[in-house]
Each structure stands twice: as structure tokens, then as C-alpha cells.
Amino acid sequence: MTIQLKGPFLGVLLVLSQTQRINSFFQMARYAAGTVDCPGSPKSVRIVVVGDKGTGKSSLIVAAASDSFPPNVPPVLPDTNLPLEFFPDGVPVTIVDTSSSFVDLLNVSFDISARGFRPEDREMVAEELRNADAVVLTYDCGRPETLENLSTYWLPELRRLEVKVPIIVAGCKLDLRDDNSQVSLEQVMSPIMHQFREIETCIECSALKQLQAQEVFYYAQKTVLHPTGPLFDQESQSLKPRCVRALKRIFILCDHDRDGALSEAELNDFQVKCFHAPLQPSEIEGVKRVVQEKLPEGVNERGLTVTGFLFLHALFIEKGRLETTWTVLRKFGYNNDIRLADELLPPSLFKRAPDQSVELTDVAIDFLKGMYVLFDDDGWSLMTLLEPARSVEHLIYIGFPGDPSSAIRLTRRRRLDRKKQQCERKVFQCFVFGPNNAGKSALLNCFLGRSYADNPGSTADERYAVNVVDESGSAKKTLVMREIPEGGAPGLFSSKESLAACDIAVFVYDSSDESSWKRATELLVEVATHGEATGYEVPCLMVSAKDDLDSFPISIQESTRVTQDMGIEPPVSISSKLGDFNNLFRKILTAAQHPHLSIPETEAGKSRKHYNMLINRSLMAVSSTFSSLELLLWSSGWLHTVCMQQERALLPEKIENEEPKWSQGANTLVP
């Protein structure tokens, strides 16, 4: 006998014909679709068997694996591997036997030496339990005290060890139980299962009689491959929110015409995708009739609604057919946590150098434009730049049909861009530096098309603004502007790779405030120094904001002198209040696309560069002088004479060490 107390017994109230019609809908011959080929499904299952000594653990394992009763078994078996074809899912199963000698500690009057207790057994079992995917907990049907030990020792011990995997309780040696017993398994186990919700299934078996021995491990494997917990809430007796969201997403992806219902054709497509089998029209009508009888709003004139789709899955879960819902979820990329499987988002897909960025490919952009009439290119570009894994995850969620790797591309390293003196990027990131109240926030707001009156003022937090910049005579490019608060600059420079993601740095200052100008200049020097020290030099541009106000004295002379000394363009004057930006955003984009220009140089950098140049020249001069001297000596014959003399000096030694050789065609010896 087997009992499962997971969820309400609503499914039992259905007449058999209704259940059969729904079963035909999904064509589930146990696990028709299989599990191994689905991303997110477990690739192996490790089952650990524990229980009181003498309850039949080892015999149960041998009986299940060999389909025979073992007359003699060792106290503890080595790990037992069941073949792939043993269960329908084709997932390899490893069964781990354990020693129970340490459980004699429950008896305070024990004699350790007499009972053979080994303290290391307890830790070995604990370690196995921590690595288990499922636990089979055994008791002896003929020894009531072993059943009592489940709730007094074993289940509390599993909680103490924080074993958070499904538990199957197996009553072994069913053949030894008194046949006259009037107590059913459900009567015995219901109180325990209500107290310990981690128990998934209880089953009675007999290794001697070959009764349900294999089923014990079938159910254990099933609880791993198709767990109840992520799908169903025991307290509310309903589908969990994450499961509902996943099933709604699957419904939307299958509703190709976006009419809010799955037509017969759409149901067939869904059926073939998940279970590799089409549906007959009569089967579809039967399913719709069952749903409509129980839930009228589950079906309308166009087909099965999302409410009806959820009802079907709730019905299968209540009937213990969790494999149906799990097959559907995994076919759409979900793992056991009902999140996208790691196989769909491998870390290697997003591995890149610090000065590389990630962009959407044309394939992904075309897909998004086809999905949305008002596609927000800017938002997706920003998400892809900052969180590429999340961007790809969202693409998969909305049904991107291709391989995830085809949705994004890695840009060329910026160091290589500088060598080639051109950039092939489509998305550029601009770091916006400047002191407080210089006009950074107003600049970002205006970049987004907001009016100056809507400017919230200075902020102490980092902000991003993204928009498309239309260059004359070329394709549109996306510009991401990242506001760096004045207080955030020191923390930024603490990291060696902080400028690696920056395509261009802009330094904003208040043209009417001399102290604002000086602080912006200091930040420029800090960025230039950091770039020279780390090798991540970036183009820089000064922005003279608030041009509608009177400039501080000698502002033009000072700004021109500093920018010329550092080798960058003069400041660009703008007024956010007047909406006069002097083509600033195009200038930013142009500078970013030419990473070898507008690189500021500090005095230390110039000195270092000059020193390296002198060293290189000296090395070239020495090399050239040596080559000329060598040529002169050879041409004069002196070096040739020296070499001949050295060769003659070594000649006697050569003659002594070499064997005599006869000259060809003569009877004379030659050295």
C-alpha cells in the first residue's frame, strides 16, 4: 500500500472517465516526454537509505537492484548504481546504504564495546545525508519500536542536520507483519506525516516477497525529478505564485494569435512541443468539456483560457501526476526552483575582458521589434550593457526562439580599438564627473528630453540616462550617461578596472563658479592619472555648464590653458536652462568613437612617455652602431682573420678527437 498526503483529495471526486480524458490530453504514459533532454532537470539522483539497525535496508537495496531476495548481505553495501533504463526517465540513480550501529545510543544502558559502536559512523551518515537528493527512511513492519523511532529520533535528527530533501518512509518486511492487524498504513502514518511535512510518500514493501521494492526507489526518484514543494502550497492548498507565473508565461507563449485562448491548433502545438504527440479533435473536445463542467470560465468560444490552463495543472498536481506539470515547465526552460535553467545562461556566455562590453545583436533587436510595437531599444541596451545575463534571461522569458548566444555579442577590447584608431561599438557608456551643483543632473534630464523645470536637483546617488543619438550620415548609436556623484569618485578610483567600462569621461563644471572649475579640473587629473597607471585611458571632454550665467573672471583663459596642456579639446559651453547644448551629445559620441584621440596626459605621464622614448632611441642607436661596426670589420677582413685564427687554434684538438677519414677517390688520409 502507498499513501501520499500532499494536497487535497479533490481529484478523487472526479469520475474515472473525466480523468482518462484529461490524461489523454497530455499523452502521459508514465513519463512520455522523458526528463534527461530537458534543460534544468536533474542529471542524476542520489538516494541515501537510513533507519534502525535490522530494518532491512541492505536487503531492500539488493532486492530492488537485482529483482531477487539476497540470502546473505553484508552489514553495509557499497554504493549501488541502477542502470539508465531502470526507470522511464532515463536518469541514473545511485543508492547509498548506511550503517545504523550508532542508533544504539538511543538506549542509555548500552555497552559500546559489546554492540560494536563506532563514533565515526554517525559523522559518515550525516555527511551522506547532506549530499543526498532524497532519503529513504526505513522501519520494520514487525517491530513497532522501529516505527516509533521515526518520530522520536530519525525525523528530528534529519531536521537537526538541516536535510532539506524529500523523504520516503518505507515499511520493510511486510511479510512479517501480523495479518490480523486491523490498523492501516494511513492510520499509522497520517499523524506522522502531518507533523513532519517533509515526508513525501509512505510505502510498505517486502524484499523477500519482491513486493514494491523497486517502487520505493521509483517514488524517491520521482520526488527529486518532480518535487511537490515548488509547485504546491500545503497551507493554502493552491498553486504557488511562482508556479502560476511560469504557467501563465507558457500560456502566453503558446497563444500565438494573442487572443487570450488556446485554439485547437495552438493546443496541438503545445502538445507536440512538450509530449511529442498530437491530439485528436475528440480528445481536445473532451478536455474542454471537463474543464467547462468544473470551471465555466476556463473555456470560451476561442478555446482554453489561462484560467482553464491553470486549472488543468492544479488538477494533475492534486492527482499526484506532478510529472505532467514538470515536463511542461522543463520544456520551457525551468529548473527545480522554477527559474531558468543554468544551461540556458552559462557563465561562459558572458565572460569578457574588463574593457569589453555586451550588446544586443541585430537578431535580438529584430525579435524585440516584432514583439513590441513600441520597442524600447534604449532600455534593453542599458540592461544588456549593465546586466547581460538578465537581458538574455528576459529575452528567453518572452520567447526568443534562437540560441541564447545568438542574442548578444561581445565588443572588441578598447585597447585594440585604440590601436586600430576606430570603434565598432553601437552602445557607448559616458561617465559624467563634476562637483555638486555643477549641472550634471540637469544635463542627464535634458538628455532624456525632460524640461529644465522638471530637474529634481543634485543627487548623492548614481544615475543612468540612455538615449539614441542620431549622427548625420551614419547609423544611430546608443549613448548611456552615468552620473558619478562627487562623493563617489574616490570609491570609483579605488578599483583598478573602474575605468575599463568607460568609453568617454565628461567633466561638468559651473562656468560662473571658479571653485567648481577647479574641482572639475582635479577630477580630470585624477581620471587621467588613474588611466595612465592602469592602462585604461579614456577620451575626456570638459563641459562648461550654466552658460546663461556670467562666467568667473579669466575662465576662458584658464580652461583653454588647462585643456591645451593636457591635450584635449576646449570646453563645450551649454545651458540646460536655455536648452542650448551646442551639439554636445554628438561631440561626446564622436569622441567615444575615436578612442585614440582626446586622451588627457598629466605631467607625470608626459615625463614617463618622454623617458621611455629616450630609452627606445638609445637602444636603437646602440643596435645601429653595433651593426655598422660589425659590417665595417667584415669588410676590412679583420674580423674574418680573427675567426680563422680561432679556428686554427682549435684545429689540433679537433684532429685529436676525430676518427681518421679516407678521402673519396684517393688512398690518403685527410683530417
Q: Are 433 and 484 in contact (CB under 8 A)?
A: yes
For residue 42, the model assigns a pLDDT of 82
Helix axes 264-275, 16-26, angle to 10 degrees: 70
Q: What is the pLDDT of residue 99?
A: 85
Comparing CA positions, the residue from 109, 106, 188, 116 lying closest to residue 149 is: 106
Helical axes 281-294 vs 16-26, angle rounded to 10°: 130
**Cell 567615444 belongs to which residue?**
592
Q: What is the full DSSP assignment across 103-145?
A: GGGGSTT--HHHHT--HHHHHHHHHHHHT-SEEEEEEETT-HH
- Length of the chain in residues, anyone? 671
pLDDT given for residue 234 in this prediction: 75
Looking at residue 48, its pLDDT comes to 96
Q: Can you say how many angstroms the Cα of residue 204 is from the centroid of all Cα atoms in its chain?
A: 41
Q: What is the DSSP string of 201-239?
A: EEEE-BTTTTBSHHHHHHHHHHHHHS-STTTEETTTTEE
Q: Which amino acid is at 441?
A: S
Q: How many angstroms separate the CA atoms of 477 and 498, rounded?
A: 23
The CA-based dihedral angle spanning residues 630, 636, 642, 645, taken in that order and rounded to the nearest 10 degrees: 150
pLDDT of amino acid 114: 34
What pLDDT does 557 receive?
A: 84
Return the pLDDT at 668.
33
Grid coordinates standing for 139?
522501519
pLDDT of residue 198: 87
Residue of 522, 537, 539, 517 lying closest to 605 (CA atoms): 537
pLDDT for 341:
87
Would you say the C-alpha torsion 32, 34, 40, 43 has a positive or negative sign? positive
The confidence score (pLDDT) of residue 569 equals 93
Handedness of CA 408, 412, 414, 417 (dihedral sign): negative
Cβ 137 vs Cβ 150: under 8 Å = yes
Instruction: Give CA–CA dist 427/589, Å, rounded.
Output: 10
**Burial state string for 251-273 with b = 16 or more CB within 10 A and e = fewer than 16:** beebbeeeeebbbeebbbebbee
Mean pLDDT by runs of 10 across the 671 residues of the chain is: 42 32 42 55 90 93 90 89 81 90 46 45 86 95 91 93 92 83 77 88 92 93 90 87 96 93 94 89 89 93 95 89 92 91 88 94 91 77 94 92 93 93 93 94 91 72 90 82 91 91 96 93 94 94 92 82 92 90 92 93 78 66 61 55 52 46 36 33
Kindly tell me the number of DSSP H helices and DSSP E strands found in the chain: 24, 22
pLDDT attached to residue 633: 54
3-state secondary structure of 662: strand
| Alpha carbon distance 191, 428 (integer Å) | 64
Q: Which helix (H) or strand (E) holds 93?
A: strand 93-96
Measured on CA atoms in the order 326, 329, 335, 341, is the torsion positive or negative?
positive
Grid cell listed for 332 = 520551457
